[in-house]
Structure 1
Amino acid sequence: MDVNMTRPDNATILMLRDPAIAVVLPAVYSLVALVSIPGNLFSLWVLCRHIGPKTPSVIFMINLSITDLALACVLPFQIHYHCNGNHWVFGVLLCNAVTVAFYANMYSSILTMTCISVDRFLGVVYPLASARWRRRRYALAACAATWLLLLAALSPLARTDLTYAVDALGIVTCFDVLKSNMLPSVATWAAFLFTLFVVLFLVPFVVTVACYTATILALLRSADPHGRAQRRRAVSLAAVVLLAFVACFAPNNFVLLVHMQC
């Protein structure tokens, strides 16, 4: 996405004309949709039918699957958009819905993984003291609070016309070029992006890193000789999840932060 607050410059025009976009992005989105839709439907079937939403971890996993499924369901619109020369034909409301779905997926995944890290931390470091809090109703409340926070944070995108007519190319873009009056001022746009970065990424990122670090250290300090292999697997899993969190979410959020300078 190349965001330009006034008129699209030459770099933006070249990006919109780039034939590789019409091949690479639809191919990637198609692969994601083909894998994600059946995969998450199967995951929901297993989690809800055979395991049941009885523990916080399962509830958080169900929330992740629903989030990913919602994103996969709007990908066909993005595929058509890029195959059609970055020309959006579905109107303003659907453009807003698809854009919000993309950001909601990313930030819901971040917040849910943060909830999972807190749950793991409490279960490993404070198993007895946290037992009353690691219950189904609190996990459901955490998921509901997550979505309320997301709806509030992303409401400016949902209420704004994110389409832009690029007369030089005869196309209408969807969130690739933004109107200069989309928000009251450039400062407001910068404040909006900075709030997203801090509240929905930086704070959850710090909490997740702290929780997994403390969890790994607690597992490594465990004195039980019979659970050595299990501890190694738990430490490896925590490290992999933490690495995935950084690799998957950090780059896009730092790019978003850079757009404050645009």
Structure 2
Amino acid sequence: GTIQRTLIPGTFLFILAMGLTLNMPVIWILMFRVKRWNRSTIFLCNLVLADISWILTLPFLIYYHLNQLHWIFGDTLCKITRTIYHVCYYCSIYFVTCLSVDRYLAIVHPLKSLWLLNKQQSLLICLSIWVATSLASVPVPFVASTQVCPDNKTICSLYVFSSSTYIMLLFSMCCTVVGCLLPFIAICYCYCSSVRTLQKTGLHHFQKRDKLTKLMYSVLIIFALLYFPYHLSRNTCIFLRALWPNGNRSIEHVDTVFFVEVAVCSLNTCINPLFCFLAGGDFRDQVCKIASSYWQNFSPIEINSKTPTAHEKVSVALPSGQSVLTSQFN
């Protein structure tokens, strides 16, 4: 329909431009400007890598939708594109969860966190997330593939539209629980416990508590607008296809909503850099330093146009640090 040929490629094009514009400076700052890496830096870096990996597949999808949903890149690239989306989408959720747990440990268990979660363990957790999410996404490339339509167009299908509806519904529900609901519960617990701990410490932590509250609200908004609607529309889409295998008018509307949600939930690649700014202390400091340096270099220089009078004295600096006072102008 019109939505798939105009709205979705337009949204993907916006995400491609904004996502690269926001994420590339973030990865550059993390790699070259942050001198000491800590737990949050490691999680932030993996979060950005997941976003960039997904963004780099968008040119293929943009061309696919603009080309009247005709896939010309072959079956292998179709499988790779769909799998990368699935892997990076859930990796992004898990790395946001890791950042929330990191804040929780630093505030609620500051001493235990030093040995409970060090840099080596953080790297191991990130590696485990990549491996576990990739293994959990194994069904995707087996189901997502190219299909030739009656009008000789080749489409790159999603596993949502597989004929094995009951198996795919079970797979989708498991992904929803393990990849969305459980991380959301963990994030809520971490932030609520952190805010409660800061409230007990007194007024001198008011500013820190205020920042953490804003961070918590931003994560809740991301889940409410991007993650929950996508999972709801995906599960509904598969469920209706299981009820009416031969098609139904309602399925067409749900399919349209699902395609829109696929595009909308990709906006998290543009929002996560802002989350990096809120969550990463060292990263935020480096951004402020770069912005301050940039502002100083391009700020107008004030020139004192006042010329010395005949009775003014001129001081000349010597290498020894002393100064010699010249005679008055006559």
TM over 0.5: yes
1:76 is matched with which residue?
A: 59
Deviation at 1:19, TM superposition (A): 2.5
Structure 1, unpaired ranges of 5+: 1-17
Over the aligned positions, Cα root-mean-square deviation in angstroms equals 1.8
Query: Following the alignment from structure 2 to structure 1, what is the Cα–Cα distance between the partners of residues 87 and 61?
Result: 16
In structure 2, distance between residues paired with 1:104 and 1:78: 17
- Which of these residues, 183, 187, 191, is aligned with residue 166 of structure 2? 187
Question: Matches of 1:38 and 1:61 in 2, distance apart?
Answer: 17
Residue pair 2:162, 2:168 contacting (<8 A) in 1 also: no
The superposition leaves residues 65-93 of structure 1 with CA deviations (integer Å, 9 ceiling, x where unpaired) of 11111111110000000000111111111
Query: Does the aligned pair in 1 maintain the 2:83–2:137 contact within 8 Å?
Result: yes
Match of 1:250 among 228, 233, 239: 228
Deviations 1:205-236 (A, max 9, x none): 2111211221222223322x223223222222
Structure 2: distance between partners of 1:229 and 1:42: 27
Within 2, Cα distance between the matches of 1:27 and 1:74? 15
Q: Percent identity?
A: 26
**How far off its partner does 1:29 sit?**
0.8
1:206 aligns with 2:188: no
Cα deviation, residue 37, structure 1: 1.8
Q: Deviations over 1:94-120 (max 9, x none)?
A: 111111121222111111111111111
Gapped runs of 5+ residues in structure 2? 242-330
Paired residues for 1:139-154 under 5 Å: 139-154=122-137
Q: In 1, distance between residues paired with 2:35 and 2:25?
A: 14
Deviation of 1:249 after TM superposition, in Å, equals: 1.1
1:233 equivalent among 201, 211, 224: 211
Q: SS of the residue aligned with 2:208?
A: helix
Q: Against the structure 1 CA distance between its residues 110 and 171, is the aligned structure 2 distance closer, same or farther, given a 3 Å change threshold?
A: same
Asked if 1 retains the 8 angstrom alpha-carbon contact of 2:40 and 2:99, the reply is yes
TM-score in terms of structure 2 length: 0.68
Contact 2:53–2:84 (CA<8 Å) still a contact in 1?
yes
Structure 2 residue aligned with 1:13: none
Matched residue of 1:211: which SS? helix
Relative to structure 1, the CA distance from residue 230 to residue 194 in structure 2 (aligned partners, 3 Å threshold; closer, same or farther) is closer
TM-score by length of 1: 0.85
Q: Secondary structure at the match of 2:78?
A: helix
The correspondence of residues 54-203 of structure 1 with structure 2, limited to 5 A, is 54-167=37-150, 169-176=151-158, 178-180=161-163, 185-203=164-182
Structure 1 residue ranges (4+ consecutive) displaced by more than 6 angstroms after TM superposition = none
Question: Larger relative contact order (C-alpha < 8 A, sep ≥ 6)?
Answer: 1
Matched residues in 1 for 2:187 and 2:237: separation? 25
